[in-house]
Amino acid sequence: MASNDDKQKCSSLVHVHNPHLDNMKDDILYHFNLGTSSHNLPAMFGDVKFVCVGGSPWRMKAFIEYVAGVLGLEDPKSEYPNICAGTDRYAMYKIGPVLSVSHGMGIPSISIMLHELIKLLHHARCTDVVIIRIGTSGGIGLEAGTVVVTKQSVDSNFLPKFEQVILGRTVVRSTDLDQTLAEELLRCSEELNRFDTVIGNTMCTMDFYEGQARLDGAFCAYTEKDKQDYLAKASEAGVCNIEMESSVFAAMCKLSGVRAAVVCVTLLDRLKGDQLNVPHEVLNSYQQRPQILVSRFIQKQLSTSAKSLLH
């Protein structure tokens, strides 16, 4: 019979739901250029507690450098090698218990990464993992630079669901995120007091232009009024911002039993425009905000764990 400790450890593992994996001699995580035969995944990743993911490889490298500084874990040579250097599909960096992984743009791109990340954390027998997406988004009625912690990820009709096609049939999955984690993140931002942060719904779309009611794509058959009406309806449904990955991220993290949150900065107010025409320095400073917030959260969590170990 399993002891209570064993049971607790089991429930805090990262779960895969695939009986076929047990019969595989080797598991090649192709898009990471890693594998269970070629790499000692428990040795490389067994201590991971915080996984931060974001679209841009450059941003995920900047994040690992920043969080290393906050946690006092800087490499004196400032070298943070890309663990996935053998491929250009994704970039991955690690410092102490923090893993930083890029996922490209859009649901399919993050979904490939998450399948392989969940298997990686499972093979490495990681426990008590928290996964946070730190991204960029368009805001609705918020000043540019506001950070949104996602309450619920909703689709283009403002419903909290993700449709996964399996063998040609559509399976509907829940996009619930961890509410306690979202509130903890909001609290961290209040303590920091460096920029505005709100909790609200995030709309996840399949496309940046027509899918987000932009007027500046190659194709656009609707008017400014149609756009404003659609964004007003979204706002009424509690949507604070729009991005392109949160729904499948929420659905897959929930299925694998991992606490997950989405923290995105708004780069512009979509009620006022569509083009990203502020200077790059300003956009870059906005993009640092989710990194600052999440680094503070990690620092706080680690300090709490350290204190509980001392008592």
Q: Interface with its own copies by CB under 8 A: which residues?
A: 16-21, 24, 26-28, 30, 55-58, 86, 88-89, 104-109, 111-112, 114-116, 118-119, 122, 156-158, 164-168, 205-211, 213, 215-222, 224, 226-227, 230, 233, 244, 252, 255-256, 275-277, 280
Q: Which is nearer to its own copies, 19 or 76 (CB)?
A: 19
Q: Decide whether 272 or 280 has the Cβ nearer to its own copies.
A: 280
Residue whose tokens read 């039993």: 257
* CB of 236 vs its own copies, minimal distance in Å: 13
Rounded to a whole number of angstroms, the minimum distance from the CB of residue 245 to its own copies is 9
Q: Which is nearer to its own copies, 38 or 303 (CB)?
A: 38
The smaller minimum CB distance to its own copies, of residues 122 and 296, is found at: 122
Quick one: 72 or 168, whose CB is closer to its own copies? Answer: 168
> Minimum Å distance from CB 273 to its own copies?
10
Minimum CB distance to its own copies, residue 167 (Å): 5
Q: What DSSP element (H or E) covers 121?
A: helix 107-123
E strand segments, 55-127: 92-95, 98-102
Q: Taking the CA of residue 112 as centre, how many other CA atoms within 13 Å lie in the half-sphere pointing to its CB?
A: 15
Q: Tell me the closest approach of the beta carbon of residue 224 to its own copies, in angstroms.
A: 8
Minimum CB separation from its own copies for residue 282, in Å?
13
150: its two tokens: 């996602």
Nearest distance, CB of residue 126 and its own copies, angstroms: 13
Q: What's the min distance (Å) between Cβ of 173 and its own copies?
A: 10
Distance CA(187)–CA(303), nearest Å, equals 16
Give whichever of 181 and 255 is closer to its own copies, judged by the CB atom: 255
Closest C-alpha to 121, from 282, 284, 252: 252
Residue closer to its own copies, measured from CB, 8 or 30? 30
Residues 216, 220: Cα–Cα separation, whole Å: 7
Q: Give the pairing of strands 92-95 and 50-54.
A: unpaired
**Phi, psi for 65 (deg, rounded to 5):** -65, -45
Give, as one character, the DSSP assignment of residue 13: B
First to last CA, the chain: 30
DSSP code per residue over 238-293: TEEEEESSHHHHHHHHHHTT-EEEEEEEEEEETTT-SS--S-HHHHHHHHHHHHHH
Query: What is the rounded CA–CA span in Å between residue 165 and residue 111?
Result: 12
Angle of the 280-310 helix axis to the 57-70 helix axis, nearest 10:
40
* Residues 6 or more apart in contact with residue 28 via CB below 8 angstroms: 34, 35, 36, 38
Residue 183 or residue 269: which is nearer to its own copies going by CB? 269
